[in-house]
């Protein structure tokens, strides 16, 4: 399921302080890189990947990693990509993505409004 704009923005804020855990070298996106990204996503759910100069551009490399790992690309800033893949069990982001972004319930019409103090 694709991320909404609010979820993507929240993930970017959470990932701001992270350091890249996988670095794509001059060989580009190889099977070893994809395996390393999958392992890091299983461990952390939200990771940064540094994509250096290689045979493919940064956009193509980031798209290839996201497609191969089944993750979502939350941000591509320069040569650093932020990927997210929620675990099926014991996800750290279960409440984080749902909690602050849910709209507040509308007030019931039969409730009287309390006067505001000034």
Cα separation, 100 vs 9, whole angstroms: 12
- Cα 72 to its chain centre, rounded Å, is 6
Tokens found for residue 72: 């979502």
**What distance in Å separates the CA atoms of residue 29 and residue 31, rounded to the nearest whole number?**
7
User: For residue 42, how far is the Cα from the chain centroid?
Assistant: 13
Domains of the chain as residue ranges with CATH: 5-86 (3.30.110.60)
Q: Would you say residue 96 has pLDDT above 80?
A: no
Q: What pTM, to 2 d.p., does this model score?
A: 0.77
On whether the CB atoms of residues 83 and 66 are closer than 8 A, the answer is: yes
Q: Around Cβ 34, how many Cβ atoms within 10 Å?
A: 17
* Residue with the larger pLDDT of the pair 94 and 64: 64
Report the alpha-carbon distance of residue 105 to residue 87 in Å, rounded: 28
pLDDT (tens digit per residue) in 5-16: 888 999 999 999
43-74 pLDDT, tens digit per residue, is 999 999 999 988 899 999 999 999 999 999 99
């Amino acid at each position: 399921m694709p991320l909404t704009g609010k979820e993507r923005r929240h993930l970017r804020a959470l990932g701001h302080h992270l350091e890249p855990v996988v670095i794509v070298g001059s060989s580009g996106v190889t099977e070893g890189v994809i395996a390393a990204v999958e392992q890091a996503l299983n461990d952390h759910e939200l990771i940064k990947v540094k994509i250096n100069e290689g045979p493919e551009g940064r956009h193509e490399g980031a798209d290839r990693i996201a497609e191969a790992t089944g993750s979502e690309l939350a941000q591509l800033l320069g040569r650093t990509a932020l990927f997210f893949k929620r675990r099926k069990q014991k996800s750290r982001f279960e409440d984080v993505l749902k909690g602050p972004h849910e709209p507040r319930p509308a007030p019931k019409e039969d409730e009287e409004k309390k006067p505001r103090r000034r």
